[in-house]
Amino acid sequence: SYDLTQPPSVSVSPGQTASITCSGDRLGDKYASWYQQKPGQSPVLVIYQDSKRPSGIPERFSGSNSGNTATLTISGTQAMDEADYYCQAWDSSTGVFGGGTKLTVL
Amino acid sequence: QVQLQESGPGLVKPSQTLSLTCTVSGGSISSGSYFWSWIRQPAGKGLECIGRIYSSGSTNYNPSLKSRVTISLDTSKNQFSLKLTSVTAADTAVYYCARGIVAAGTNSYMDVWGKGTSVTVSS
C-alpha cells in the first residue's frame, strides 16, 4: 500500500511562515491536495493539484510538490490557522491521506 | 452551493452492517464532473478513504476494506450510500461524505464535505 508521512506537529509564531511536509514514494509524480481540519469540524480543502487554491482560501496558503515531498506553506501565519492539516494523494485509484500534522500558533 | 448531509444509525452492533446515506442538495449526483466519496475518522486519529463512486456507477474501494464495503447511488433521491458489513469496534468513527472533482490521472480532489456523522460499534 502507498503511505504518506507527515510530522505529527509543527509550531510557528504568529506572522511567521509555517511549512508542513508530506513524504511519499515518488509523490512528485502524483498530485497532492491539502485539507485543514479544526476541532469538531469537517475538513476543508486548502490546496489542490499541488499548488492551486480554491476560491475563498487566503493567498497566504501555498503548496509545492517535487521528488518525494509535497509541502504546504502558510505565510504570515495567523491564530485562526491553528488546526490539523492532512495531505492526500491518489494511488491506483485509492485515496490515501497522510497521518496529519497539528499546527500550533504560539 | 452544493451541500452534503450524512444520515444513519449512530449505534451499530458488532458483526452487523453499518448503513449510511449522504443526501446531496444544490447539485445533481448524476453529473459526470464529480465522484462521491466516503471517508472516516476514528476519534483522535487521522482520515481514511473508504471508497468512491462515479455517476456511471463505477466504484473504487480501499483495498483494506474492499471485502466489506459497498457504495451505491440513488439518482432518484440524489443520494449515495455506504454499506460496511461485519463491523467491529475498529469501525467506530466519524463518517464523512464528500464530493470529488473528476480529473485525469491523479488530479482528482475532494472539494465539498458533509459535516460528518458519528457511528459507534458496540453491543
Q: Are B83 and B17 in contact (CB under 8 A)?
A: yes
What is the rounded CA–CA span in Å between residue B84 and residue B107? 27
Q: Taking the mean position of all CA atoms in its chain, how far away is CA B79?
A: 11
Residues of B in contact with A49 (CB under 8 A): 103, 107, 109
Can you point out the beta strands (E) in chain B?
A: 3-7, 11-12, 18-25, 34-41, 48-54, 59-61, 69-74, 79-84, 93-101, 109-113, 117-121
Q: Is the pLDDT of residue B72 over 80?
A: yes
Contact assignment for B114 to A98 by CB distance below 8 Å: no
Residue B104's pLDDT band, with cuts at 50, 70 and 90, is confident
- Per-residue pLDDT at A7: 98
DSSP letter at B57 equals S
pLDDT along chain A (106 residues), means of 10: 97 98 97 97 97 97 98 98 97 94 97
What is the average pLDDT score of chain B? 96
Contacts of B43 (CB under 8 A, 6+ apart): B92, B93, B94
pLDDT digit string, tens, across residues B40-68: 999 999 999 999 999 999 999 999 999 99
Residues of A in contact with B106 (CB under 8 A): 30-31, 89-91
Shortest distance between the Cα of A42 and any Cα of chain B, in A, equals 5
Query: Nearest CA to A101 among A91, A86, A81?
Result: A86
Q: Is the pLDDT of residue B106 over 80?
A: no
Q: Are A24 and A33 in contact (CB under 8 A)?
A: no
Of B49, B106, B109, the CB nearest to A97: B49
How many Cβ pairs within 8 Å bridge chains A and B? 64
Please list the residues that pair with A11 across neighbouring strands: A104
B43–chain A Cβ distance below 8 A for any pair: no
What is the rounded CA–CA span in Å between residue A93 and residue B2? 24
Of B52, B63, B116, the CB nearest to A42: B116
Residues of A in contact with B96 (CB under 8 A): 42-43
A-chain residue closest to B35, CA distance: A93
Largest distance between two CA atoms of chain A: 39
A86–chain B Cβ distance below 8 A for any pair: yes
Q: Are A72 and A19 in contact (CB under 8 A)?
A: yes
